[in-house]
Amino acid sequence: MQLSFLGKTYTASTPAIATTETQETVTFLGRSSRVKQFNVTQRQQPTEELNFMGHRYTR
């Protein structure tokens, strides 16, 4: 997915979200539904070279 922020475009990476349906049920506003457990994998942020007041650093 291509996104843009302050005129700079970048590609957003969305992690895969695995769901597991549990045996629990909840009721909200008169409607029943099953509870799901979400498992999100951690992702590593890419390194980035930045410049602040003439000093370069990586984040």
pLDDT of residue 41: 74
What stretches of 1-59 adopt beta strand conformation (E)? 2-5, 8-11, 17-28, 31-40, 49-52, 55-58
Evaluate if residue 57 carries a pLDDT over 80: yes
Residue 58 lies in a domain: no
pLDDT of residue 2: 80
Evaluate if residue 45 carries a pLDDT over 90: no
Residue 57 lies in a domain: no
Residue 19 lies in a domain: yes
Give which of 53, 54, 48, 42 is closest to 10, Cα–Cα.
48
Domain of residue 21 covers 2-43
Task: Supply the pTM of this predicted model.
Answer: 0.36
Number of domains into which the chain is organized:
1
5-34 pLDDT, tens digit per residue, is 888 888 877 777 788 888 889 999 999 998
